Amino acid sequence: MEDPWRPGKVAVRVVCVDGRGRILLLKWRGPAADYWEPPGGGVDPGETLEVAARREFHEETGLPGTAVVGDGVEVSRDFAWFGEPRPRVERFFLARVDTATPTAPVSLSDWEVGKYVDHLWIHPDDLGEADAHVEPPDLARVVRELQDS
């Protein structure tokens, strides 16, 4: 099975904010511990970053890709994927929904099957209270930057 985060792979993330200012995170099973991060994933050949963000957002949450707005911001990540360093720059996009609703993946890659754990709506000020590591660690700053852009 191909490693989706091989070096050089381009990826996008979507920070979805509800009407109460909470953001949506997905919990994934890691090799050493679970972690939370915004929905997202790899850009397929021929896709623009925006199209990939809309597709990944819908696939991983079941929410409409049309909720994704704006041009996004670049975020440098010193990321480790299953114990392997995978530093990279990702484009983070903003999505807006009026109400936080239960979400569930509608389509997971072979690589993701068995690794998705749960979802969480949480205020950025409360990220330190999450029951697992949050990626990227400076996500609250990224949320502010997206909302200000």
Our measurement of the distance from residue 137's CA atom to the centroid of its chain's CA atoms, rounded to an integer in Å, reads 13
- Selected residue with higher pLDDT from 89 and 66: 66
Rounded Cα distance, 112 and 114, in Å: 6
- How far CA 40 is from CA of 74, 117, 129, in Å, comes to 14, 15, 22
pLDDT score for 77: 76
Residue-wise pLDDT for 107-143, tens only, equals: 878 777 888 999 999 999 999 999 998 999 899 999 9
Rounded Cα distance, 48 and 42, in Å: 11
Over 80: is that where the pLDDT of 87 sits?
A: no
pLDDT score for 86: 66
Neighbours of 6 (CB within 10 A): 11
To the nearest whole number, what is the mean pLDDT of the chain?
88
In the chain, what are the domains? 11-148 (3.90.79.10)
- DSSP string for 87-141: -EEEEEEEEE-SS------S---TTTTTTEEEEEEE-GGGGGGSSSEESSTTHHH
Neighbours of 2 (CB within 10 A): 8
Over 70: is that where the pLDDT of 84 sits?
A: no
- pTM of the entire predicted model: 0.88
Rounded Cα distance, 72 and 130, in Å: 25
**pLDDT-based confidence at 68, cuts 50/70/90?**
very high
Q: Which helix (H) or strand (E) holds 53?
A: helix 49-61
What average pLDDT does range 27-51 have in this prediction?
A: 91
User: Is 60 in a helix, a strand, or coil?
Assistant: helix
Residue 43 carries which DSSP code?
Answer: P
Over 80: is that where the pLDDT of 101 sits?
A: yes
